Amino acid sequence: MDIREKGYSHWQGELKTSAANWLPIFLNGIKTIFKKKYAKLIFSFSGSTFVVFLIAVYVSTKPELKILSELVRLLKSDADLFKTFYSNGFLTFMLVILSIFSGADLISSDLKFKAFSLYFARPLSRADYLLGKFSIILFYLLLFTLIPGILLLLFKMIFTGSLAVSPRLLLAILLFPLLECVFLASMTMALSILSANTKFIQIAIFLAYIFSNNLAHILKAIFKNDYFFMISLQNNIEQMGSFLFGLQPKFSYPAWLSLLPPVAVSLLAVWLLSWRIKKAESRS
């Protein structure tokens, strides 16, 4: 190694990119959210649906037990069981609350503290940054949807003593929560980029959930057309569940159309996030 004189010299090293550049953002975000105030309370409410359905599955194998009989009666098949579990109104509401809790400040706080220049001073691309932030929300959403769904299936096999499960049902159990959570995470990320005010973002996410449902019912009442339920977050999730699990659709429009809003929101979120970060970078 040559000895340089004291002074400024050009760096001759090489920045190496890695497929795991997003991982530190993800790991730090997971720890930060878990340590937040009220985290355990929100996690408990989010996991309560799994406990109720687990009891219902057990009761369905024990005819002498009378608890949760109304819920057991509604769950006539495995498809009904998992579709109702994933798309019931309480779980969807808690997923929205979880999205607000885990994702509202992910990008808005970076806007507030002008942290983009610090992120991108490292060998970190916009894709790495977005993937790291997106994976944080997705982790917590899947923790209370996909993981409980798989556990519910395993416990049902144990309680019934049967390992039989159709390929379509298994695919739907894995695919539905992924689509649902990507939908909610994309919406959260897209709204989080709009302002540096975290309180405003939290309110915006909650209002998007409430307003979409109310607007859909108002337009349905005026125009007498079920297609307007596609703009309702809750109703579109229910219709998507009917399509993936092969059940009778709740609304009269083709159930496969319920896949379009999640895809559209995800693509819009990617474009909006990339544009907003590029704009913020140029200002910093």
Q: Name the packing angle between helices 78-87 and 146-160 (round to 10°).
A: 150
Q: Which of 75-84, 133-142, 205-214 has the lowest mean pLDDT?
A: 75-84
Among 109, 65, 57, residue whose Cα is nearest residue 82: 57
Cα-based angle 111, 113, 115 (whole degrees, multiple of 5): 75
- Res. 29 pLDDT band, cuts 50 70 90: very high
142-178 residue pLDDT tens: 999 999 999 999 999 998 888 888 999 999 999 999 9
Highest averaged pLDDT of the listed ranges 5-19, 72-86, 88-102: 88-102
What is the pLDDT, as a whole number, of residue 12?
65
Q: Tell me how far the alpha carbon of residue 239 is from its chain's centroid.
A: 17
Helix (H, G, I), strand (E, B) or coil at 244: helix
pLDDT at residue 179 above 70? yes
Q: How confident is the model over 32-57, as a mean pLDDT?
A: 94
What is the pLDDT, as a whole number, of residue 259?
94
Cα-based angle 154, 262, 131 (whole degrees, multiple of 5): 80
d(CA 100, CA 84): 23
What is the pLDDT, as a whole number, of residue 65?
65
Q: How confident is the model over 63-78, as a mean pLDDT?
A: 70
229-283 residue pLDDT tens: 999 999 999 999 999 999 999 899 999 999 999 999 999 998 988 888 887 767 6
Mean of all residue pLDDT scores within the chain = 88
What is the pLDDT, as a whole number, of residue 14?
64
Region at 7 (left for phi over 0; alpha for psi -120 to 50; beta for the rest): left
What is the pLDDT, as a whole number, of residue 276?
82
pLDDT at residue 4 above 60? no
Q: Phi and psi of 275, rounded to 5°?
A: -65, -45
